[in-house]
Structure 1
Amino acid sequence: MMIVNSTMADMDTLFAFYRAGAVYMKDMGEVRPWQEFERTAVAKEIEEGRQWKVLDNGETVAVFLTTYNDPFVWQEKDQDPAVYIHRIATHPEHRGKGYVQGIVDWGREHARENGKKFLRLDTGARNTRLVNYYKRCGFNLLGEVYPDSPALPAHYRGGIIALMEIAI
């Protein structure tokens, strides 16, 4: 398994993974699955070096995004030095093969290399199956928030979000 930055050539692949992730969320009963993301925003994330892909034998098996702040969801905790992981999407044929744990392990090292003290992510609080999965990956559940900023993607607004963290 290797994690490398996504490029503009990966744009269609990223969106295919996001669509498959949204379908999976619906199938799992998620009340607020991902909506279609804006291509211009994803292009900017690629240009900033924050979009990543997980390769296994040269094949893209998962994608995710990193950021170093998330004030609308993490509120006052956003002042802490942290790496935030967003939009993990694993190809349907590769779910259950440990790629998310690989992303978490990579995220810990990425946080260390960048002088951060925390690795964080958030997910729908009512998706107890996913919350428990992230706990098994080493995250601690810190609590829940109810973000409602128009700056957030639609799937955040009006929902209950579980905040999860690993101290580095």
Structure 2
Amino acid sequence: MNAISPETYRIENASTADLEVIYWLFEEAISYQKKNNYVGWNSYDKDYIKRDIENKLQFKIVSDDTIMCIFSICFTDELIWREKDKGDAIYLHRAVVNPAFKGRKMFEKILNWITIFAKEKGLRYVRMDTWTANPHIIEYYKSYGFVFLENYTTPNTPDLPEQHRNLTVALLEFKL
């Protein structure tokens, strides 16, 4: 498949009207991960997704009226990034690709968008975390210029979405 040109897709805030599709995307991702014995999500926190939508932190990549991918951002992530969280980064979370658009470089589209967005806000880093037990995904993100910083086990707190609690993650950083 050919990559989609920038003129044929847009990145915008998700809305509550998108919830059914967003939930389906998470369920498809979990099913795919389990079917292929990949380390991944066991569940997802619907309330957290709703809050991200309300706070305009949940985004979607759309072509025509089809959601190709979703992701969320935040401007502080102290529970995971601790002393590194100094207000100079944007944090990328929960990127999920619609199965019909796998192989269409969705992460590249996210990174291009978030890089511009972060620079406009005067930020210095894009940060993200992923499963330490999946070296392939870590290498995938490193191929886009992310640097591995450390492994960290997240606290078991309701301040994190269910899928992020008591989880050992690799912390990755992209310098702008």
| TM-score, length-scaled by structure 1 | 0.91
Q: Report Cα offsets for 1:4-39 as digits up to 9, x if no partner.
A: 11111111111111111222232343445141313x
Q: 2:54 and 2:168 mapped to 1: Cα distance?
A: 31
User: Any residues of structure 2 matched to 1:64-75 within 5 Å, and which?
Assistant: 64-75=71-82
Q: 1:3 and 1:165 mapped to 2: Cα distance?
A: 22
After TM superposition, give the deviation of residue 157 of structure 1 in Å: 3.2
The size of the alignment, in residue pairs, is 167
User: Any residues of structure 2 matched to 1:126-145 within 5 Å, and which?
Assistant: 126-145=133-152
Q: What is residue 55 of structure 2 aligned with on the other side?
A: 48
Q: What is residue 12 of structure 2 aligned with on the other side?
A: 4
Q: Tell me: CA distance 1:28–1:75, structure 2 relative to 1, closer, same or farther (3 Å).
A: farther
After TM superposition, give the deviation of residue 115 of structure 1 in Å: 1.4
* Aligned-pair Cα RMSD in Å: 1.6
- Percent of matched pairs sharing the same residue: 26
- The answer as to whether partners of 2:30 and 2:40 remain within 8 angstroms in 1 is no
Structure 2: tracts of 5 or more residues without a match:
1-8
Structure 1 residue runs of 4 or more that deviate by more than 4 Å after TM superposition: none
Q: Which of residues 42, 45, 48 is equivalent to 1:37?
A: 45
Q: What is residue 95 of structure 2 aligned with on the other side?
A: 88
Q: Which of residues 24, 36, 46 is equivalent to 2:32?
A: 24
- The answer as to whether partners of 2:45 and 2:163 remain within 8 angstroms in 1 is no
Q: 1:28 and 1:127 mapped to 2: Cα distance?
A: 12
SS in 2 for 1:88: strand
Structure 1: tracts of 5 or more residues without a match:
none
Q: Report Cα offsets for 1:64-85 as digits up to 9, x if no partner.
A: 1010011111111112411111
